[in-house]
Every structure is written in C-alpha cells, then in structure tokens.
Amino acid sequence: MKLLQYTVLFLTIFLIVGCEKSGVNETALTTNWKFKKLGDTEWKNATIPGTVHTDLLANKEIEDPFYRLNEHQLQWIDKTDWEYHTTFNIPKKELSKSHIELDFLGVDTYSKIYLNDSLILKTDNMFRNYSVDIKAIAKEQNNQLRVVLESPIKKGIELYDATPFNIPVSGNDLSEIGKVEGNKKVSIFLRKAGYHFGWDWGPRLVTSGIWRPVILKSWRAFKIDDVFIRQKKLGEKAELTAQITLQASNKISKSTIEVYVDDQLIKTEKQQLQSGINTLSIPFSIENPELWWPNGMGNQKLYTVSVKVTDGGHTDNKSHRIGLRTVELITEKDTIGNSFYFKVNSIPTFMKGANYIPQDVFLTRPNSANYKHILNSAKEANMNMLRVWGGGIYENEEFYQLCDEMGILVWQDFMFACAMFPGDKSFLKNVRQEAIDNVKRLRNHTSIALWCGNNEILSAWERWGWKQNVIKEQSEAIADTIWKAYTDVFHKVLPEVVQAYDPDTRYWASSPSSSLGVAESHDSGDAHYWGVWWGKEPFENYNVKIPRFMSEFGFQSFPELASVNKYTIPEDHDIFSEVMKSHQRSSIGNGTIEEYMLRHYKKPKDFPSFLYVSHLLQAYGITTGIEAHRKNRDRCMGSLYWQINDCWPVASWSGIDYYGKWKALHYGVKKSFKKTIVSFNKGEDSLGIYIATDSLKNYNASLSVKLFNFDGKELHNWHKDVLIKGNTSEEYMTISKEELQQFTSQFDTVFLQAKLTSEKQLIAEKLHFLVPFKELKLPNPELTFSVSENEDNYLVTLKNKKMAIGVFIGGNFDLNFSDNYFDMTPNSEKTIYIPKGNIPTLEEFKNKLNIISLIDSYNSTTL
Ligand code: BMA
C-alpha cells in the first residue's frame, strides 16, 4: 500500500528528473530486505519502508497489537536491537558516474548503517533525511547494506542516566505500560515521534525501522538539490523567484537555466556554475495570476513551476505545484488585547478545522486511500485548516499535496509536545538540522500557513506548575537551565531556521500562548480551552470562554459498535471492562463521558446504546463550541477542535475513528462549519438567533423561526427580512421566554426551527430544544424506511410522523453515509446515500441496516 504511494512518487520524480540524458538517476531500494533480532541467525522477510512491529506482524511472529490487550505483551520489542539487510546491484553506467549516494529519507531512530562492511552513517533523528556519498565503496554486484537499529528505550535510558537533573515530562509518556526500568520517561531524549511512547489517545508502541525510502542516486556533472519558489509580489502580475541550490562536480562555464510555468517556457538564463554548491536566484513572473483560495472561498489553482538546468549533455530538473496567495497572521494590539487571526489574500478568514495526529501508530501503514479519506473528510466538512500537532510527525508529501489541492491550510507544529527538552549543544544542533530538513521539504506547499514551535510546553512550564516544582524539588539553577533550553530551541533555533529558509511564513513559538514567552490568555494569541472535559465544566461554558483563536478544545466519545467489534469480544462490552479501559488513555476517560452523558441524556439501556449516545453527546458539545466561536467572530477568528482522527481503535476526542468511520461529531461539524449558519444563543430569559457567515457578499434573506410540538403542530412563527453582512456574525432576532410561554407551557414537548432563505433557497437551518434532552418527552417517532439503489449508491428513504432525534443508520458498514445522526422534524422525509462499496446486493444492504433514534436508547422504564 505504502509502497505503491512511494512508487508513484518516485515514478513521478523519475519522469521529471528524466533518465539517460539527465545524468541524475534515482532508484528506491525496496527489494530483498530481510530483518532479524540482532544476534539471531535466522533472517525473515521485511518491507521497506516499514517498522519492526509491522514486519513481525507480517511474519506472524506477533498478534495484532491493537486487538484487545495485545499491546501489553509487545513491550519487549522496543528493548531489543534489530538488524535489516539488503543487497543491490548498480548498473555499470551508473557506477561510472562521479557521484553515487544513498539517501535515507527517514530512519527511526538510532542506527548504524554499513555498506559492504564499512560504517557509512549513524542516525539519531527520525525526522531528518541523511545523504551519504558511497562512491568509494560502491560496486557493481552484490552491495551489502546493513542497518542496525538500536533499541530506542536502551538508548533513551543511557541519555536519561547521563542527565544530572530531572526534566519534566507529561504523563503521556506511558513508561509504566512500557515496563521501563524505574519508570524512566525517556521520550524527550530521542528525536522521535512523541506519541509512540503513548498519549492520552494512543497506545504505547515504540517503533524502530526504516520508515521512509532509501534512495540510490547517481549523477555526473551536477544535480539540483532544491528549488524554492518564493512569491515576491502578488498584483496584476505575480512576481516570483526560483531559488535554486545545485551541486556541480566541476566549474561549468555555461549552463542554461529555464523556468516553465504549466509547461510554458517563461524564462531562460545563462549562468556559470562553480565546483561545489551553487545558489542561484532566477526572478520570473506570471501574468494575470489566478489566486489560490482556501476551501469555501474559491478555487485552488495550482501552477506547475519547473526549473530545468542544462549543460551540454546533462540536464536536471525539479517541479513544484504552487498556488499564488498571501497568508498573514495578524497579531496586533486592539481593544481586547492582541488579535490572532489569518488574512488570506488580504481577507480576514475565520479558520474552521481540527487538530490532526498521525493516522496510525505504525507510520508506514496509512496508504494513499487513507490520506485521501481524511483530507476529503476535512474538505467535505467545510474545513479550511488543520493543525499538524507537535507530538506526531512532519507529515508525508502526500498529505500536504492534498491540502494544497483541497484548500486546507496547515498550521504546522515542530515536533515538540507537553514536555521540557534537553538543551545541550548536540541536541540543539540535531534540532536545527531537523528543522532545516523539514522547512526545506515543506516550504513550497501553498497550504503551509504557520510554523509553530511546540504544543503546550509554555503552558506546562508557567501554568501547570512545572517551573515551581523544579524550583521546589530540584533548584532554581536547574529551573534556569531547563528554561534556557526552552528559549534556545523555541526563541532562537527554530525562528532562525524559519527566517532563513521560509521567511514569508510566520513563526509562533508555542500553542497556546499570548505572545513570545507569555503564557496563554483569552484576550491575546491562541488558546486551548480544556475547562470542558478536564475541568468538568458544562458545555454551556463554550459560550463564555471565548479566546481570540481556539486552537484546541474537545470532548470524547467511543468508536461505534461496528468498530468496537473489531478489537473486542462480546464479554468486553462494558465501558469499565479491562479491554475497554485499555482502549481509553485519558486518565479521567470513560467515567467522564458517563458523567456528562447523565447531565444531558437519560441513562442508555445497554452497551451499544451507550456508544451511540456518546456520539450524540460529543457532537452536541463540540458543535456548541464551534458555533459559539463563530457567533463571536468579532473576538475569535478560529475554531480547531481536538482532534479529527485516531491512530488506533480507542475512545478519544476524534470525530473520525481509526477505521475511517465518521462519528456524529464529523457529521455535525460539517453542518456547523457551513459557510452560513443560524445558531441559537441561550440567554437568561431570552433566546438570540444569530447568523454567522463567511460569505464575502452582503445579501438579503428571510429569517423564520417556528415553534412546533413533537406531533408537528405549528404553535407560532416569527419572521424577519434581514440584510446579511458579508464576513460577520450578528444577532438578528431575540425571542423572550415570556413570549414563548404565551404559545406553550410545555417546553418538554416542543422545539424551535430556524430557517434562513434567500431567493427561495434554503441557506441554513437549525433546531433548538428548550430543555435538556433528558427532560424531553419524546414520542415514538413512527419511523419507517425503504431502500433502493442507483448505479453507485444504495439509498435509504426515511419517513417519520413525530419528532425524531439523532436518527442513526447503523450496521456493519465500512463506508460513511451522506448524513447520519440527524434529527427529523415531524412528518418529514429524508433520503440518505451510501456508496455500494463491497456490499453486493440491495437485499444484503437492507439486512445489514439497523436504524434507531434517541428514544431507542432508553429502557421503557426510563421513558
Ligand atoms: C491537548 C493536546 C494533546 C492531548 C489533548 C487531550 O492538550 O495537545 O496533548 O492529547 O489535549 O488531552
């Protein structure tokens, strides 16, 4: 799967780079790989890119690490050294070239690499790419490449023991599950994805492996190392420069450099190349540029810019697909504090999205289809930003390519989260190189909107008591040393790298923070609000805890039953069973879901109902938050909830489970992130009806609010013609409690339906209940359905007589429905689609269906 993705990538590179004439030849070493425990004699087949765990699994040496409690039996793997081996030949023609190198695009993490028995490389950072000249050792036949991977835990313990003081680390490093001697939290010493050591949504599976391709490269006269397309000015024409870094074997008196835009030659220059590294800067322009827009604001035009260098018989070229746009982060003083919002193409843009974590604990498993699924899901849910969070990885090329194509801006963290880090010289040097490698790799992507130093480290130091604890338990001098390491990394090394390699993109040192080195506040900068969940505060607090930009907030749910069935057996089906608790990593997990659930809903009658109500609860909470942020856009200009996806099957804050199934949250988010929404705001004695819009135009519309009972009888309606102002949020109508009481005395059997229409089109719609769900006297909705099919989809047409809340089309389906977990007002009809996938017949589809609504989750006695 992964192999296919890289093969496509390398085929593309191969086609671009050219073959015979180019002088630069690239081959990914993907075959003949074997692996074994260091010291063992028997070699087993291995897949590169891959990990030790996935190779052991493929060889049936271990059981599925995600099934039930298996994770706990596999902790020996990270305490073992492993060895990988392959052989390869180099065609004579390539061998005769003056430069032959091996590029390692990702080795996890500590390794010694030997070619033909010579040590050619030592690695100590999974995020870096390494290149080694092997000209002197390479031969035509039977080159022996051996990679010895040292146990990350053993290496970590060495580094831990060599540090004369304790560096604070959050409890996310699950050293206890890892059975690490003395419970040492070693993750911070290794430049390796933090979440491999466990997280409050992730397993503890500390991998080793060659996780990105190994490339054999040969070239003669010169090779282009890098092309950075910088956008200088964007007006009637776009002025750009191609900054080219190129290595030449010898001085070349005349080389021709050509720049193509969408296959059209637009610039030619002659340059003299020096032996060694050359840096060239070629200005060029694009007439009548078409701008790139975030999702929902316009098209995502991408221009293919290619740079071709030729000298006599040698050619090399590199291409990037780039969008023309400006992204500015505006952090300026205002009447509240300091703003924090993005302007895209000069337009203040409300950021709608989520936080993203790696899609699997085993990084080589997600394939192209998985990447497309997550990013399509983000796009479909009307998102325009994802935050690539700092405890995971700098993602694969494909992730950013899809973001470029889909109009999803990326808030890119550097890989530091929830821990203080060492700050010795070699650590800083390593981090600097990691940052250079990744900024250079990603800076051409139009989607990159922000580089952020770390996740929650400043908050932890200043607000969670870490600094005080270090002073109390160790000394003030040690606290100074630890803080100096922080400022060296986040206030010096990283911003220097961004300034040098991607000067047009803003750097923000820590999420959340008010400004450089100043901890979080709701008046300035970005914020993570965890009062709901960790603080057990009510969902209603989302309406009052409004920061300038909400970069994290969240609430958990379980995966749906069909997903839970994949990692459990029926006897595990209790939220407090050992297996369900193990697939829950938040210290307050399942009990907190239950506690909030009982605040809002009646106690569900059984385990499947509990899972289902947990989805409704999560969607209700988080969409309340999203709409609160959008209603307050004068103050708050972004809403990124925690988290869009999962890295294994688990109860978590995700809106899409590990198997790709949308939870109620994702369906709900899609509605709350629509361009224009209507939303109710509950005051003490009145209800405000808001319209929030990202549409840039003003338009006339009609707002109607109707009061119905659950049988469908209209009790009253309010109406107002409104002028909606572009890119604003405003309260357009207020209905007092007193007024409502004139039309009904039974708030538990009625609902309000607000509809916004313009030119006979329904723009937005929202339902509102006047009492908590658990107090509603829900009738039997008399829900019926029929099924049919068209070429690509099965269709379910639902009809109901009375109010139905949270209609859920369940069953063992791998694919998502066009809508799910929706409310149906009395006497309505709704048709839902599901792609046919691998369900062969309509009959089979029908038999799999299990349709319920909220009332079905109650015992008859709880009605
Ligand atoms: C935030 C994140 C993660 C964590 C999540 C839920 O703090 O940055 O560290 O998983 O909250 O606790």
Look-up of token digits 């990679």? 147
- Across 359-385, average pLDDT: 98
Q: What is the pLDDT of residues 588-598, one digit of tens each?
A: 999 999 999 99
Does 312 map to a domain? yes
For ligand 1, is residue 200 a contact (CB within 6 Å)? yes
- Across 389-395, average pLDDT: 98
Task: Clarify whether residues 665 and 757 are in a common domain.
Answer: no
Mark 437-470 as b/e (b = at least 16 C-beta within 10 Å).
bbbbbbbbbbbbbbbbbbbbbbbbbbebebbeeb
Report the C-alpha gap between 79 and 653 in whole angstroms: 31
Tokens of 500: 């040098």
Give 488's DSSP letter.
Answer: I
Report the C-alpha gap between 734 and 746 in whole angstroms: 20
Query: Which region, left, alpha or beta, applies to residue 188 given φ > 0 means left and ψ of -120 to 50 means alpha?
Result: alpha
Task: Clarify whether residues 791 and 749 are in a common domain.
Answer: no
676: cis peptide before it, omega within 30°?
A: no
Q: Is the pLDDT of residue 296 over 90?
A: yes
Q: Coil, strand or helix: which one is 50? A: coil
Report the C-alpha gap between 783 and 798 in whole angstroms: 7
Report the C-alpha gap between 194 and 358 in whole angstroms: 11
Report the C-alpha gap between 489 and 453 in whole angstroms: 8
For ligand 1, is residue 539 a contact (CB within 6 Å)? no
Q: How far is the CA of 389 from the centre of ligand 1 (A)?
A: 9
Which mutation among 386, 418, 458, 593 tests ligand 1's pocket best, with the greatest number of atoms within 8 A of CB?
Answer: 418
Does 738 map to a domain? yes
Tell the burial category of 142 from Cβ atoms under 10 Å away from its Cβ (0-12, 13-18, 19+).
Answer: exposed
Does 379 map to a domain? yes
pLDDT value of residue 23: 72
Does 337 map to a domain? yes
For ligand 1, is residue 201 a contact (CB within 6 Å)? yes
Q: How far is the CA of 150 from the centre of ligand 1 (A)?
A: 29
49: cis peptide before it, omega within 30°?
A: yes
- Residue 552 CA: which ligand 1 atom is closest? 1
Q: How far is the CA of 639 from the centre of ligand 1 (A)?
A: 15
Domain termination site, one of 642, 672, 702: 672
Q: Coil, strand or helix: which one is 689? A: strand
Supply the residue whose CA is at minimum distance from atom 7 of ligand 1: 456
Q: What is the pLDDT of residues 298-312, one digit of tens each?
A: 999 999 999 999 987
Strand positions, DSSP E, 400-477: 409-413, 448-455
Task: Clarify whether residues 205 and 298 are in a common domain.
Answer: no
Give 637's DSSP letter.
Answer: -
Report the C-alpha gap between 6 and 22 in whole angstroms: 21
Report residue 44: phi and psi, to 5°: -120, 160
- Residue 201 CA: which ligand 1 atom is closest? 10
For ligand 1, is residue 199 a contact (CB within 6 Å)? yes
Give 135's DSSP letter.
Answer: T
What is the per-residue DSSP string for 263-303? TEEEEEEEEEEPSEEEEEEEEEEEESPPBB--TTTS-B--E
Which mutation among 170, 199, 361, 456 tests ligand 1's pocket best, with the greatest number of atoms within 8 A of CB?
Answer: 456
Q: Is the pLDDT of residue 804 over 60?
A: yes
pLDDT value of residue 3: 46
Q: Coil, strand or helix: which one is 612? A: helix
- Within 10 angstroms of residue 289's Cβ, the number of other Cβ atoms is 20
Judge contact between 110 and 81, C-beta under 8 A.
Answer: no
Supply the residue whose CA is at minimum distance from atom 4 of ligand 1: 200
For ligand 1, is residue 457 a contact (CB within 6 Å)? no
Does 488 map to a domain? yes
Supply the residue whose CA is at minimum distance from atom 9 of ligand 1: 418
- Residue 200 CA: which ligand 1 atom is closest? 10
Q: Is the pLDDT of residue 17 over 60?
A: no
% of residues, the chain, pLDDT over 90? 95
Residue 705 identity: V
Task: Report CA Rg, the chain.
Answer: 29
Report the C-alpha gap between 709 and 753 in whole angstroms: 11
For ligand 1, is residue 526 a contact (CB within 6 Å)? no
For ligand 1, is residue 455 a contact (CB within 6 Å)? yes
CATH of residue 666's domain is 3.20.20.80
Does 582 map to a domain? no
Judge contact between 284 and 241, C-beta under 8 A.
Answer: yes
Report the C-alpha gap between 788 and 796 in whole angstroms: 7
Judge contact between 126 and 193, C-beta under 8 A.
Answer: yes
Report the C-alpha gap between 745 and 516 in whole angstroms: 54
Q: How far is the CA of 580 from the centre of ligand 1 (A)?
A: 20
Q: Is the pLDDT of residue 108 over 70?
A: yes
Report the C-alpha gap between 325 and 290 in whole angstroms: 9
For ligand 1, is residue 456 a contact (CB within 6 Å)? yes
Task: Clarify whether residues 160 and 38 are in a common domain.
Answer: yes
- Across 61-66, average pLDDT: 98
Q: Coil, strand or helix: which one is 493? A: helix
For ligand 1, is residue 642 a contact (CB within 6 Å)? yes
CATH of residue 71's domain is 2.60.120.260
Q: What is the dihedral of CA 804, 810, 816, 819, to 10 degrees?
A: -10
Q: Is the pLDDT of residue 8 over 50?
A: no
- Domain containing 684 equals 676-775
Residue 10 identity: F
Domain termination site, one of 743, 775, 807: 775
Q: How far is the CA of 77 from the centre of ligand 1 (A)?
A: 27
pLDDT value of residue 312: 78
- Across 359-372, average pLDDT: 98
Q: Is the pLDDT of residue 810 over 70?
A: yes
Report the C-alpha gap between 681 and 297 in whole angstroms: 27
pLDDT value of residue 194: 98
Supply the residue whose CA is at minimum distance from atom 10 of ligand 1: 200
Report the C-alpha gap between 359 and 386 in whole angstroms: 14
What is the per-residue DSSP string for 692-758? EE--SS-EEEEEEEEEEETTS-EEEEEEEEEEEPTT-EEEEEEEEHHHHHHH-S-GGGEEEEEEEEE
512: cis peptide before it, omega within 30°?
A: yes
Tokens of 642: 């925690």
- Residue 643 CA: which ligand 1 atom is closest? 5
- Across 546-550, average pLDDT: 98
Supply the residue whose CA is at minimum distance from atom 12 of ligand 1: 200
Confidence band (pLDDT; 50, 70, 90) for 5? low
Q: What is the dihedral of CA 671, 673, 678, 679, to 10 degrees?
A: 90
pLDDT value of residue 19: 39
Which mutation among 415, 552, 555 tests ligand 1's pocket best, with the greatest number of atoms within 8 A of CB?
Answer: 552
Of 860, 819, 825, 781, which is closest to residue 609 (Cα–Cα)? 860
Q: Is the pLDDT of residue 358 over 50?
A: yes
Tokens of 554: 């969240």
Of 169, 171, 213, which is closest to residue 190 (Cα–Cα)? 169
For ligand 1, is residue 421 a contact (CB within 6 Å)? no
Does 850 map to a domain? yes
Question: What is the number of domains present in the chain?
Answer: 5
Tell the burial category of 741 from Cβ atoms under 10 Å away from its Cβ (0-12, 13-18, 19+).
Answer: exposed
Task: Clarify whether residues 288 and 368 are in a common domain.
Answer: no
- Residue 534 CA: which ligand 1 atom is closest? 12
Report residue 8: phi and psi, to 5°: -60, -45
Report residue 87: phi and psi, to 5°: -125, 150
Mean pLDDT, the chain, integer: 96
Q: How far is CA 600 from the centre of its chain?
A: 30
CATH of residue 806's domain is 2.60.40.10
Q: How far apart are the first and last CA of the chain?
A: 49
Of 855 and 20, the structure prediction assigns the larger pLDDT to: 855
Q: How far is the CA of 863 from the centre of ligand 1 (A)?
A: 37
- Residue 199 CA: which ligand 1 atom is closest? 10
Q: How far is CA 664 from CA 24, 109, 600, 745, 858, in A?
A: 51, 38, 16, 31, 18
Task: Clarify whether residues 727 and 830 are in a common domain.
Answer: no
Q: Coil, strand or helix: which one is 248? A: strand
Q: How far is the CA of 699 from the centre of ligand 1 (A)?
A: 40
Task: Clarify whether residues 89 and 235 are in a common domain.
Answer: no
Task: Clarify whether residues 387 and 280 are in a common domain.
Answer: no
Supply the residue whose CA is at minimum distance from atom 8 of ligand 1: 455
Q: What is the pLDDT of residues 221-259, one digit of tens each?
A: 999 999 999 999 999 999 999 999 999 998 887 899 999
Judge contact between 62 and 51, C-beta under 8 A.
Answer: no
For ligand 1, is residue 552 a contact (CB within 6 Å)? yes
pLDDT value of residue 378: 98
Task: Clarify whether residues 317 and 377 are in a common domain.
Answer: no
Confidence band (pLDDT; 50, 70, 90) for 857? very high
Task: Clarify whether residues 150 and 289 are in a common domain.
Answer: no
Q: How far is the CA of 201 from the centre of ligand 1 (A)?
A: 9
Domain termination site, one of 609, 643, 672: 672
Judge contact between 147 and 119, C-beta under 8 A.
Answer: no
For ligand 1, is residue 740 a contact (CB within 6 Å)? no
Q: How far is the CA of 261 from the centre of ligand 1 (A)?
A: 42
Task: Clarify whether residues 398 and 278 are in a common domain.
Answer: no
- Across 718-728, average pLDDT: 97
For ligand 1, is residue 418 a contact (CB within 6 Å)? yes
Report the C-alpha gap between 819 and 179 in whole angstroms: 44
Report the C-alpha gap between 383 and 395 in whole angstroms: 19
Judge contact between 619 and 821, C-beta under 8 A.
Answer: yes
Which mutation among 411, 642, 652 tests ligand 1's pocket best, with the greatest number of atoms within 8 A of CB?
Answer: 642
- Residue 389 CA: which ligand 1 atom is closest? 8
Report residue 279: phi and psi, to 5°: -120, 120
Does 767 map to a domain? yes
Supply the residue whose CA is at minimum distance from atom 3 of ligand 1: 200
Q: How far is the CA of 257 from the centre of ligand 1 (A)?
A: 48
For ligand 1, is residue 553 a contact (CB within 6 Å)? no
Helix residue ranges per DSSP H, 508-604: 561-567, 578-582, 589-600
- Residue 170 CA: which ligand 1 atom is closest? 9
Tokens of 734: 């207020």
- Residue 653 CA: which ligand 1 atom is closest? 6
Q: How far is the CA of 618 from the centre of ligand 1 (A)?
A: 16
Report the C-alpha gap between 30 and 48 in whole angstroms: 6
Q: How far is the CA of 467 from the centre of ligand 1 (A)?
A: 20
Report residue 350: phi and psi, to 5°: -75, 125
Q: Starting at the edge strand that comes first in sequence, how are the strands of the sheet with 804-810 ordered? A: 822-824, 804-810, 850-852
Supply the residue whose CA is at minimum distance from atom 6 of ligand 1: 200
Q: How far is CA 103 from CA 27, 636, 814, in A?
A: 10, 45, 38
Task: Clarify whether residues 30 and 59 are in a common domain.
Answer: yes
